[in-house]
Amino acid sequence: VRSSFPEFNLSAIPDDKFTSTDDILRFAFSKHIHYDLDFGWIFFKLPLDFHFGGNIKYIKRKILNNMGTGTGFDFSFISKTDLAILFDENWLGTVSFGMNFQDVGGTVITWDVESNHEDKILFNTKLGIAVKQPLEFLNSSLIIAYDKDYVYDKIQHYGLEYLYKEFLGFRLGYYDKNFSTGLSLKLYDFIVDYAFVTNTLGNTNRVGLRVNF
């Protein structure tokens, strides 16, 4: 039809621009348990740290003049041990294994339209591993991380963070042919995060504020 009626052909020229934003407010809690795994008097004690946590999140999405809101729940578990003790090499750092259950039961976003249209964020399980290596000669550390989603085509994520004196961090990431970069700044109990993420639909800027108490 479009070939017969030139006026219906797509010009590839944008008619207008609009803004799309996502806002998330999270309240998170966690519990830390420490345990020394004793291999016997002839061997050593391996320190194990277990962290259990979860969060309640309120999501607000806005496209043009319409807004959608919803509430979701996440739960996670991380175990960490000391590679220096495990391999008897003082220069080594730590390794962590994690599991994350995102949007447990599915998170529903309800839009303020006449039909009360709903979008559902699927329940996702994420498994990951991270190695944190101290760089004492630079008063800093380097973190290498990997994780994998078990929905959304099982997307894999790769991350690298350089952390200076535990208060200033520089980050690089890659997932599903998209690159990201960012930084973090910690001041007392406040942490500010910024990330720039590339995407075929448009680049995204993310800003976050965390408060520990």
Instruction: Assess if residue 195 is contained within a domain.
Output: no
In a domain, 101, yes or no: yes
- Whether 74 maps to a domain, the answer reads yes
> Is the pTM of the predicted complex or chain greater than 0.85?
no
| 33-84 pLDDT, tens digit each | 999 998 876 678 899 999 999 999 999 999 888 999 999 999 999 999 999 9
Output the six-digit token pair for 111.
């839009």
> Which residue range forms the structural domain that includes residue 116?
17-122
Tell me the average pLDDT across 11-20: 71
- Residue 103 banded pLDDT, cuts 50, 70, 90: very high
Which distant-in-sequence residues (6+ apart) come within 8 Å of 79 by Cβ?
48, 49, 50, 51, 96, 97, 98
How many separate domains does the chain show?
1
For residue 54, which amino acid is it?
G
Whether 9 is in a domain gets the answer no
pLDDT of 1 higher than 70? no
Residue 149 falls within a domain, yes or no? Answer: no
159 assigned to some structural domain: no
Most confident of 97-101, 150-154, 165-169: 97-101
